[in-house]
Structure 1
Amino acid sequence: MKQEISNLSVSQLLQQVYKKDPEHEVAFDGYGRISYEELWRQSITLAKSLQELGIKKGDKVAVCLPNWNEFIVIYMAVSHVGAILVPFNTRYRQDEVEYILRNSEAKLAFFTKEFSGVRHYDQFASAIKVVNSLKTLISVRCQIDGILSYEALLENNESASFEPIDIDSENDTFSILYTSGSTGAPKGAMLTHSNVVNTAIISANQMKCTEKDVFFVAVPVFHVFGLVPSILSTVAVGARMVLMDQYKAKAALELMELEKVTVKHGVPTMFILELNHEEFASYDLSSLRTGIIAAAPCPIEIVKRIRNDMGCEIMVAYGLSETSPTLTMTSFDDEDIVRAETVGKALPGAEVKIVNDSRQEVRTGEVGEIVCRSFGVMKGYYQMPEKTAEAIDENGWFYTGDLGILDENGNLRIVGRKKEMIIRGGYNIYPREIEEILYLHCDVLEVAIVGLPDTVLGEISCACVKLKSHATADEQSLIDFVRQRVANYKVPDKLIIMKGFPMTASGKIKKVSLQEQLMESIGVELR
């Protein structure tokens, strides 16, 4: 299917939409509401202040904020001046902050004093002393002696004129998003204006979104899931969004009921916590229409429960920071089994294929690495030409590092990360396959399977399981549950009941951290 590609920049997209209905609310963050006209006016005012501070086209602007209206204003202001947005995870520690500031060459940083126990002012005040590129600090929702404030910048230039910046949407970078760095130093994926605008528009179109929709944005705005199919998809159709700065299942259910949310995005963990909340049945979620579940493997049973218990025609999607992110999605026309067991087809205008280790395309139904070309594929990794060349070939195909299968209808099934595959005594074990089986058990809340070293078999598999409250299952009964359903070599060699998992801010289980914890706690048991 041919897809018409937009050549709008982020700034032009907002301008086009706000003129249609300036009074329409664009965002509510639990503290205040803001209309499209206010977003345009405030972001233009802030853009003029940024220019006065020396920020010009191509300069990098760091933003370390939770899901607040101010983030959206800064997002748009940066796009107006043609600068490059560098979002920071609000959980970063000092070394991570300094690494990304230094690598991105950020000239200016927005932050708040403290959030969720992390003292951001202390981090950036220390960083500016050792990061040569960083020249200006701007505080948000706090007044700090000697530091410029966001609020002051909005007051300074309300009447000043602003000259639009000429932006080449296909080639000019809008944002540099840093990967988690689980396999080395974080890499900065450069996403162009065209990457994010087209992904936002096409994702919204797939969900049949209109200006009447209300998006629920509980995924972090500093993550690509929040940045593009949440914030920018909302803007693309002139809808409104409800932001949540600290996710709690009960508060999320209350907000969805109160704000009449229609489009609910989230990672599997969020849906799992909501569906299993003891008061879930008491909330009126009848306004829910659709949404995207993504950013981590999605258990089959959870997809079914979202559709049946929430009444939400959820769309399972797949993508990465490097693809802006949405690459594939299920559709409203898909049968239950397709929505439950695959991540759908490539979006209109995108291509997906499966290749072997020699980068040759495999036959339908065979496992291999997922490779793609699309409107959303990044420009490259910032200041890492070798890593870029490894990931994107001369024909524009991006190698995801994920393993999958394409069926005869073009639907993609994710098998797992290439680097997470466990080779036990010469047999390949794909963790996701066994995780899906454990999710079928009525007592299982969350599960992650990792490989551990073994001197005889090379690797063994270890299943880590978090149980629901009042669960009666134990290690042996769960092992027996799996054994009935798979070949014997796929049955976990170890199964450990966990109280919780190390998690990323976007809701993914940190499998590398989990492996490290297991090596410390049960290392003496390993051969």
Structure 2
Amino acid sequence: MTSTTMPALLEQAAATHGQHPAIVDGPTIITYAGLRDAVVAAARGYRALGVEPGDRVAIWAPNRVEYVIALLGAQQIGASVVPLNTRYRGHEARVVLERSRAVVLVVANGFLGTDYVALLREAAPADELPHLREIVDLDSGWADFLAGGEQVPVAEVERLAAEVTPDTVADILFTSGTTGVPKGVMSSHAQTIGVAEVWAEGAGLSEADRYAIVNPFFHSFGYKAGAIASLTAGTTIHPVLTFDPEGLMRLIQDAGITVLPGAPTIFTTLINHPRRTEFDLSSLRFSIAGAATVPETLFEQMQDVLGFDEVAQAYGLTECVVATRSRANEDPRHIAETTGPGVPGIEVRVVDETGADRPVGEDGEVWLRGANVMLGYFEDPEATAAAIDPDGWLHTGDVGRLDEHGCLKITDRIKDMFIVGGFNVYPAEVENALAAHPAVMESAVVGVPDERMGSVGRAHVVLRPGTTATADELIGWARERLANFKVPREVVFATELPRNASGKVLKTDLRTAG
């Protein structure tokens, strides 16, 4: 049985896997024993900045070795980690930092030419984030941060690590939700490790595996099903900074990568890449492609063209990261049609409006229950009560059906959320951004199919009388305020939006409209 707190997991991994590589990031190689030492050093750095158990530490950085160390270092002393999407603009980051009242922000300033600190300062002068005491830049300030921790006794970190319990909040992952207001999904140490363990067991992870993590560490897929899953199994983590197809194929060849999950767009890109045959991809063993609708032949091609031994699909959401997974040795065509049955420890129901179970093959709302369903939303008991009923069932807002094998197929999103290249986009958030434009009276954003990204956004916009605006102008307006994957690719102007008798916008009609 894996440990049920992050500090204990780290200690167990160091004792079990010792000099085995834990993380290989370019020329940097950190063993499991070395990772434990690096995490303790980071924990001492946080203590030197006054971070207390229960505080929140935000991380705004891409996949790199320091991210894992910064994350585990905060959890080592009982602080909760708040990951920020690297595509966030300043306003989005400010909202999450405000709501979480993070005391420290760890940032990779300058990543992809973005001055994150300047974006944040523009959106929120220092006095608007009174809780944020320190910003630590991984490139220019990390060494000073670690040096500052040298004044803190190791014994102090060990004491705090021993006080972390399985129920301590390990992380708060903010999801925009249907209202456009971010909600912080809380998970305990035991839950985060439990999710990782379920995923690792399903993937058959071991010391022999080398896991290229393309999914961002700020997302539960890259963090829990990636980094933490690897730590539970002694697997070597290869962080992938950005998705560059040729660079990724070279990494697979040179490092002998065995495990490579990701959004379907990653695999369709590799399958259709003109230089694919120049690389040796024969080490690839296992993949899960999820988070979007998939072409029916994708999983066959992943095996036949890319050479994976085993492929699977899974379903989850931030509130329950791994809910279902394809059965072992499943036919690839069936994998494309369903996300599999509930994983160990998770019950799955499909119900009608009254909460009664729907018959096999008929659509209803997907409900989930089990140990790894979130603790709740951070400081939002009303939203928590709306999401999790008194019997412990999480009402996902997703529509699906169960087949005769108990395998779940997701057929629609009650919440109108759509997925762009593996990232969730909540229309309300985009509509709120557009509403701030002086010419926009109202808008409705829907996802429309896209061959490469799975879906992209299309905004149907009604302008205020007497005003004008172009599609390019509104797209530019959104780009200044939203992460690029949330920005609509297309704007359609209308004199009015279609509505039902109660006045609700008929987004189903808009999805099929031009």
TM-score, length of structure 2 as denominator length: 0.80
- Name the CA distance, whole Å, in 2 between partners of 1:310 and 1:254: 14
Take 1:181 and 1:256, find their aligned partners in 2: how far apart are those partners?
Answer: 36
Q: 2:196 aligns with which of 194, 200, 225?
A: 200
Q: Following TM superposition, where does structure 1 have runs of at least 4 consecutive aligned residues deviating by more than 6 angstroms?
A: 459-462, 521-527
The answer to whether the 8 A contact 1:316-1:344 is kept is: yes
Task: Tell whether 2:386 aligns with 1:390.
Answer: yes
Question: 2:168 is matched with which residue: 166, 169, 172?
Answer: 172
Which residue of 72, 78, 90 corresponds with 1:76? 72
Instruction: Rate the CA distance shift 1:185–1:161 in 2: closer, same or farther, 3 A.
Output: closer
Q: Which amino acid aligns with 2:73?
A: A
Distance (Å, rounded) in 2 between the aligned partners of 1:76 and 1:462:
36
Which of 390, 402, 409 is matched with 1:406 structurally?
A: 402
CA deviation map 1:53-72 (0-9, x unaligned): 21111100011111010011
In the TM superposition, residue 79 of structure 1 has moved relative to its aligned partner by 1.3
What RMSD over aligned residues (CA atoms) do the two structures have, in Å?
A: 3.1
Q: Which residue of 1 aligns with 2:136?
A: 138
2:41–2:146 CA contact under 8 A, matched in 1: no
Q: Aligned partners of 1:94 and 1:239: how far apart in 2?
A: 35
Q: Please tell me whether residue 273 in structure 1 is matched to residue 269 in structure 2.
A: yes
Would the aligned equivalents of 1:140 and 1:150 in 2 still touch at CA under 8 Å? no
Q: How far off is 1:99 after superposition?
A: 0.7
Deviation track 1:37-90 (CA, whole Å, cap 9, x = no partner) reads 111001111112212221111100011111010011111111110100001111
Cα distance in structure 2, aligned partners of 1:249 and 1:259: 15
Q: Secondary structure at the match of 1:364?
A: coil
- Which is worse superposed, 98-107 or 337-346? 337-346
Alignment partner, residue 424 of structure 1: none
Out of 303-312 and 156-165, give the one that drifted further. 156-165
Shift of 1:314: 1.4
Change (3 A) 1:138 1:316: same
Task: Report what 1:61 is aligned to.
Answer: 57
Deviation of residue 125 (structure 1)? 4.7
Deviates more, 1:271-280 or 1:356-365: 356-365
Displacement after TM superposition at 1:171 (Å): 2.5
- CA displacement, residues 233-286 of structure 1 (integer Å, 9 cap, x when unaligned): 100001101111111111111111111011111111111111111111221111
Give the letter aligned to residue 133 of structure 2: K
Percent identity, aligned pairs only, is 29
1:95 aligns to 2:91 (yes or no): yes
Amino acid at match of 1:356: D
Contiguous gaps of at least 5 residues in structure 1: 422-430, 436-447, 451-458, 469-501
| Corresponding residue number in structure 1 for 2:236 | 240
Alpha-carbon distance in 1 for matches of 2:224, 2:109: 26
Instruction: Tell me which amino acid in the other structure corresponds to 1:162.
Output: V
Distance 1:107 1:393, change over 3 A: same
**What is residue 317 of structure 1 aligned with on the other side?**
314
1:104 to partner: Cα distance: 0.3
1:498 maps to what in 2?
A: none
Summarize the alignment of residues 238-387 of structure 1 with structure 2, pairs less than 5 Å apart: 238-312=234-308, 313-323=310-320, 325-387=321-383
Matches within 5 A, 1:19-58: 19-58=15-54
In the alignment, which residue of structure 1 is the partner of 2:464? none
Take 2:81 and 2:379, find their aligned partners in 1: how far apart are those partners?
Answer: 16
Aligned residue for 2:415, secondary structure, equals helix
Query: Is the CA contact 2:48–2:148 (under 8 Å) kept in the aligned structure 1?
Result: no
CA distance, structure 1, for counterparts of residue 495 and residue 277 of structure 2: 40
- Cα deviation 1:114-159 (Å, max 9, x = unaligned): 112321122345543311211122121125xxx9844534665586
Q: Which amino acid aligns with 1:77?
A: G
CA gap of 1:83–1:33, structure 2 versus 1, over 3 A, is: same
Q: Deviations over 1:204-242 (max 9, x none)?
A: 111111111111101110111011010001000011011
Distance 1:103 1:375, change over 3 A: same
Alignment partners' CA distance in 1, 2:304 and 2:110: 40
- AA partner of residue 357 (structure 2): E
What CA distance in whole angstroms lies between the structure 1 residues aligned with 2:11 and 2:305?
39
Shift of 1:315: 1.4
* 1:197–1:27 CA distance, 2 compared to 1 (3 A): same
**8 Å Cα contact 1:303-1:339 kept in structure 2:** yes
Cα deviation, 1:327-368, whole Å, max 9, x if unaligned, reads 111132223332221111111111001011222221111101
Contact kept? 1:200, 1:236, Cα under 8 Å: yes
Unaligned ranges ≥5, structure 2: 428-443, 454-477, 498-509
Equivalent position amino acid for 2:132 in 1: L
Q: Which residue of the other structure, out of 4, 8, 13, is the alignment partner of 1:12?
A: 8
For 2:325, the aligned partner's letter is M
Q: Which amino acid aligns with 2:157?
A: F
Alignment partner of 2:368: what SS?
A: strand
Q: Is the 8 A contact 1:45 1:158 kept in 2?
A: no
8 Å CA contact 2:40, 2:154 repeated in 1: no
For these two proteins, the number of residue pairs brought into alignment is: 448
Q: Distance in 2 between matches of 1:367 and 1:231?
A: 35
Task: Check whether the contact 2:213–2:238 (CA below 8 A) recurs between aligned residues.
Answer: yes
The answer to whether the 8 Å contact 1:171/1:192 transfers is yes
Task: Indicate conservation of the 8 Å contact 1:46/1:153, yes or no.
Answer: no
Residues 176-226 of structure 1, C-alpha deviations (whole Å, 9 max, x = no match): 001144641111100111111011111111111111111110111011101
Asked whether the 8 Å contact 2:46–2:149 carries over to 1, the reply is: no
- What TM-score do the two structures reach when normalised by structure 1? 0.78
Tell whether the 8 Å contact from 2:195 to 2:224 is kept in structure 1 after alignment. Answer: yes
Q: Which residue of 1 aligns with 2:491?
A: 518
